[in-house]
Amino acid sequence: MIGETREKEIYEVLQEARRSIEEDGKLLSKVYNESSIFDLEVKRIFSKTWVFLAHESEIPWSGDYVLRRIVDDSFIVTRDEDGDIHVLFNMCRHRGMQLCRSDAGNSSHFRCPYHGYTYQNTGKLNGVPFQKEAYGPEGLDKDEWAMTPAPRMEIYEGMIFASLNPDVQPLEEYIGDMGWYLDFYLKKSSAGLEVVGPPQRWIMPADWKLAAENFIGDGYHTQSTHMSTIKAGIMRVKSPAYLKEGVQITAGKHGCLFMGFKPGSYFNYPQGIVDSMLENLNEDQVELLKEESIMPLNATVFPNTSFLHSAMAVEAEGELATSVPYLTIRVWQPMGPGKMEIWSWCLVEKDATEEFKKNSNRAYLSTFGASGTLEQDDAENWSGQTRVAAGEMSGQHYLNYSAGAKHVEPIPEGEWPGPGTAYPKNYVDFAQRHFWQTYFDHLLDDRNGS
C-alpha cells in the first residue's frame, strides 16, 4: 500500500496515477486520504504556488490586520500607516513565540508576550527590552531581526495572495487566461468589491481537493445532491437538471470553471450593477453576457481558491421573494490528510445599495453560508468520499472521469470569445481532468511551469 512505500515507490504510484487520469480518464481514489500524499502536497503544492489569504477590504484602515495561514504557517496581513499591505510570518524572531493570536484587529505594533520584543506593523523591530544589558552597548541589529515577510506577496484585483516560494512566477502570469473569466466576478463595478463581514470558517472531515474539484464544474451532482433543497421549495428551478446546459472551460495551467444558468437578466443584478458591468467588461466579455446570456458560476484557481456566483430567492420585507445574486470566494484550507477548514467570504460591489448588499448576503447565507442548504448537501458527499478513501481498498480503486470524452468536442477556436478551451456542456469531466493533471504535475514536480 502507498502508506508503506518509500518515496521512490510513491513517485511511481503518482506517475501511474497521472497516466491513468490523462489517458484513461480514471483517478486513483487513494489521493483523497493518504498521509504520504498529503505531505507531498504541502511540500510541492502549498509551498510552491500562490495561495489566497485575504481581500483588501478586510483591512481598509491603517493598523488593520487579519491572521491567515498557508497550511501550518501563520501570517499577519497588515495595513501600515502609509496604507501599504504586508504579509508577515507570525513568529517572533527571538525565540519563536506566535506574535499575534487574535484573528483580526487594529494595531500599529505587535508585542511578543514572551520577552517583549515589539515590532511595527511593517515588520520592523522597534523595541527590545533591556537591550544594552542583553546585547551590549551597540544593541541589536534591528534590521537583521525584523519580522520575516512571506517570500512573495502580490495583489490581484483586491485579492491578496502570498507564496512560500520566492521563485514563483508573477501572480498575473500564474492566473493567466483565467483572469479573463475572473473579471466577471471581480470587475463588474469600477468601485471594486468589499467583504460583508469576516469570513465564515468551519472544519470538515473532507479532503480539500474534493471541494476544489467540485467547484470547477460539477454541474452533474446538482440533479441528485441538491434535490433536497429543491424538494423543500427553497430553490425554485424548473428542472433539477438546472446546470445541464452551459460551458465548461479550462483556462491556462491553473484555471478551470463553468458558465451557465442562462440568467437572461444578468443574474437579476440591479440595473446600476448591470450598467457598470457592461461598461467595465470588454467587448468579448459583454458578447458572452448579451449573446449567450451566461456568466461564470463556479471556478477554481489552483490549488485551493474557488469562486461561486449564484442567485437565490430572498423575501424582501412585505414583498414577494425575488432572485438575488451573490458572490462567495472560498479557500479550502488543508489541515491534514482528509481534513480541511473552509474559509468563506461573501463579497458585494462597493457601490451597490445597502439594501442589495443586505439581500445578497442573505441569499448567500441561506445557500452557501456555513449553515446554507446547498453547503450542507455538498458537505455530506465530501466527508463520505473522504471516509471511504481512508481504507486499503482505495489504493487499487479507480474513479470515473470520462464524461464527455467520447462524444463532446471543444467549441472551435474562433467561435468562443474567451481564452482557453471551452466545451459546450456542463455534464462533462474536461475541467476536472485538467485540474488533476495540474495536480499531478506539481506533485511530480516535473512539468508544473511555476
Q: Which residues of the shown chain bind ligand FES in the complex (CB under 6 A)?
A: 92, 94-95, 97, 112, 114-117
| Contacted entry of Fe ion, ligand FES, none for residue 95, CB cut-off 5 to 8 Å set by kind | ligand FES
Closest contact distance (angstroms) between CB of 75 and ligand FES is: 17
Nearer to ligand FES, 119 or 326 (CB): 119
149 DSSP 8-state letter: B
Closest contact distance (angstroms) between CB of 372 and ligand FES is: 41
CB 326 within 8 A of CB 318: no
Instruction: Say which residues have a Cβ less than 8 Å from residue 355's Cβ, sequence separation at least 6.
Output: 316
| Contacted entry of Fe ion, ligand FES, none for residue 129, CB cut-off 5 to 8 Å set by kind | none
| Contacted entry of Fe ion, ligand FES, none for residue 111, CB cut-off 5 to 8 Å set by kind | none
Half-sphere exposure of 59 (CA within 13 A, CB side): 33
* 251 sits in which H/E element: strand 246-251
Cell numbers linked to 293:
446570456
| Total interface residues for Fe ion by CB under 5 A | 1
Of the candidates 294, 265, 305, 232, the residue with the CA atom closest to the CA atom of residue 70? 305
Nearer to ligand FES, 112 or 288 (CB): 112
Nearer to Fe ion, 58 or 378 (CB): 378
Q: Which stretch binds Fe ion (CB under 5 A): 200-208, 271-279, 326-334, 374-382?
A: 374-382
Contact between 213 and Fe ion by CB under 5 A: the answer reads: no
Secondary structure of residue 232 in the 3-state scheme: coil
Contact between 349 and Fe ion by CB under 5 A: the answer reads: no
Closest contact distance (angstroms) between CB of 91 and ligand FES is: 9
Query: How far apart (Å, rounded) are the C-alpha atoms in residues 91 and 89?
Result: 6
Query: How far apart (Å, rounded) are the C-alpha atoms in residues 1 and 209?
Result: 21
Closest contact distance (angstroms) between CB of 214 and Fe ion is: 6
| Contacted entry of Fe ion, ligand FES, none for residue 378, CB cut-off 5 to 8 Å set by kind | Fe ion
Nearer to ligand FES, 97 or 388 (CB): 97
Return the residue matching grid coordinates 512573495: 152
Closest contact distance (angstroms) between CB of 204 and Fe ion is: 14
| Contacted entry of ligand FES, Fe ion, none for residue 435, CB cut-off 5 to 8 Å set by kind | none
Query: How far apart (Å, rounded) are the C-alpha atoms in residues 109 and 391?
Result: 48
Q: Which stretch binds Fe ion (CB under 5 A): 4-12, 299-307, 334-342, 378-386?
A: 378-386
Closest contact distance (angstroms) between CB of 110 and ligand FES is: 10
Nearer to ligand FES, 112 or 210 (CB): 112
Contact between 378 and Fe ion by CB under 5 A: the answer reads: yes
CB 307 within 8 A of CB 178: no
Nearer to ligand FES, 13 or 125 (CB): 125
Q: Which stretch binds Fe ion (CB under 5 A): 45-53, 105-113, 285-293, 372-380?
A: 372-380
CB 373 within 8 A of CB 229: yes
Query: How far apart (Å, rounded) are the C-alpha atoms in residues 211 and 340?
Result: 10
321-336 and 305-315 as β-strands: parallel, antiparallel, unpaired? antiparallel
Query: How far apart (Å, rounded) are the C-alpha atoms in residues 251 and 231?
Result: 35
74 DSSP 8-state letter: E
Residues at the site binding Fe ion, with contacts judged by CB under 5 A: 378
